[in-house]
Amino acid sequence: MNKDIHIGAKLTTPGSSKDYKTGTWRHQTPMVDKSKCKDCLLCVQHCPENCIKAKYDEMSHIDYNYCKGCGICAYECPNKAITMKKND
């Protein structure tokens, strides 16, 4: 994989975003309290990075390799099942 940046930010390989794990940018981490989660999946729908995964109509996990800690999932959760923990 060529990680050189081309003039004009031209993408030379489609789908290359999976190669750049951006989770290290995160200054806060979403934490899920499954006892409060009602699997409404609003967090999945609102995650701008598609980091929150669902399986069989249930929230299954957060892919922390790509989660940037924006907090939208916690803000949108009607049951307050997601809270943001500051990273040390």
Non-local (6+) Cβ contacts of 65 within 8 A are: 21, 22, 23
Nearest to 83 by CA among 66, 65, 62: 62
H, E, C per residue of 36-64:
CCCCCCHHHHHCCCCCEEEECCEEEEECC
| Nearest in space to 32 (alpha carbons), one of 86, 87, 85 | 85
- Write out the chain's pLDDT in tens, 88 residues: 556 666 766 666 766 667 778 888 889 999 999 999 999 999 999 999 999 999 999 999 999 999 999 999 999 999 999 999 998 8
**Domain annotation for the chain: domains and CATH numbers:** 28-86 (3.30.70.20)
pTM to 2 decimal places: 0.77
